[in-house]
Structures are given as structure tokens and as C-alpha cells.
Amino acid sequence: MVGKVFSNVASNYDIMNDLMSAGLHRLWKDRLVSKLSPFPGMKHLDVAGGTGDVAFRILESISSIRRRALQDPLNDGLQEETQIYVCDINPNMLNVGKKRAVERGLGEDKSLTWVQGDAEVLSFGDNSMDGYTIAFGIRNVTHIEKVLDEANRVLKRGGRFLCLELSHVEVPVFKELYDFYSFSVIPQLGELVAGDRESYQYLVESIRRFPPQEKFASMIAEAGFQKVEYENLVGGVVAIHSGLKI
């Protein structure tokens, strides 16, 4: 069912994200990447990242570091050493990302690898990644615990786990407004813009089923991560959870 939802929304994914969040999703992803602190030569896995939004930001962050150190010609090798893997279970979402990569001049970039795969059963080796991000994806998996276990498995010691996800608003008046917007406005937007009310109704309902911030933080800790914390953005509309593999 989730596969069908994302196949349906893939072609309108960017415009609907802008409309639903009033463009704020761009700032939220910027914040996610700033907390990751990317570095040249890193091996990074972005899961459920088919459209490339997070991966492009990571590459841009690393490129800006390289530009500042460009006086040293030996730094030319840093970009090739860097490897960003974009993993998504849905081929339609990956196709959107690949197309956007070409439009950005990154179509032949060896630092960027697109992989169709399942977050619950990753094809990457143990202790192989410096970083792991998942943005607006973990609430759509079948078994959150398996995804967290896999994230811990593929990360090296000292590797960072970061998750950006729509979460739970607790401020009473804001919560009522947010619920009205979520259940009344978003499905209608989906119908008007994408001709698909059902998929966006599912997306809203999936947010409410996702564990609250504290519960999700405890699940991350149970998967073996240390220094688990979270940051609420826009009063808890979204939260960024992080953990460290030690």
C-alpha cells in the first residue's frame, strides 16, 4: 500500500511538499544536514531519500568545504573519496532524484550512488558508513525497530544517526489548528494539485500513528545508540532525532 502511495505521489512530490509546508521543509532539511556536519571523504547513507533532497544538500556542504580549501591541489581527490548513497525502496522516487541530479549537473557525479533497497534489510556492509540520515521516511516502514537496528549495523563507531520526521504537537490551541490543517486542508490540496486525495489522507494518518518524540527517542536508544536527543521544530510539527554509535 505504501509503495502504491509513493508511486502515485512521486511526480508531484516536490510541489506538494512546498505547498503542504509553505516551503519550510527546505529549512528543516538544511537543519538536518547542518546537524550532520558532513566532511570530505565521508561515506554516508541517506535512506528513503529518493528525490535526492538531503543528498544534494550534503554534497553541497562538502563542496563548500572543498572550495574553502582549494589552494591545495591535493584536495581535488576529496570529492571522489566522498560517497553518498541514496537508498529508496520505490523506483519512481529514485527516478525523480536521478532526473533532478542531471538537472543540477550531478548526473555523472561519482560521489552519488542511487540504490533501490529496503530500509529494513540494507545491502550495505557492517560498520561501513560515517553517517545515516532518513527524512520523512521512517514513519512509512513496517517495522521501525528493524530500520533502527539496520542503521546501527551499517554505521561505523562514531557514526551519526539522524532522523527528520513529522511528529506530534502538544500545545493545545496549536494542536487543534494543526489537526484541522492536516485532516481537512492537506487531503484537499492533494486532490486539487495531484488529483489524489487518498494518498495524502494516508500521509496525514501515518503521522498520527508515529510514536511521540520521547517514545521514538527510547526506541533509538534501545537499538544501541548513545547520546540520543531530539529537537522540535515549529512546536513539534517536525522533530530531528539523533544518536551516536559508540
Annotated binding residues for S-adenosyl-L-methionine, written as ranges, equal 51, 88, 118-119
Rounded to whole angstroms, the Cα distance separating 6 from 28 reads 21
Of the candidates 86, 78, 80, the one whose C-alpha atom is nearest the C-alpha of residue 124 is 86
Binding site, by residue number, is 51, 88, 118-119
CA dihedral of residues 216, 187, 133, 231 (deg, nearest 10): -50
Rounded to whole angstroms, the Cα distance separating 149 from 120 reads 8
> Measured at the alpha carbon of residue 127, what is the angle toward residues 122 and 133, in degrees to the nearest 5?
60
CA dihedral of residues 91, 94, 95, 99 (deg, nearest 10): 180
Of the candidates 86, 134, 132, 81, the one whose C-alpha atom is nearest the C-alpha of residue 111 is 81
Contact 194, 200 (CB under 8 A): yes
User: What is the DSSP annotation of 17-46?
Assistant: HHHHHTTHHHHHHHHHHHHH---TT-EEEE
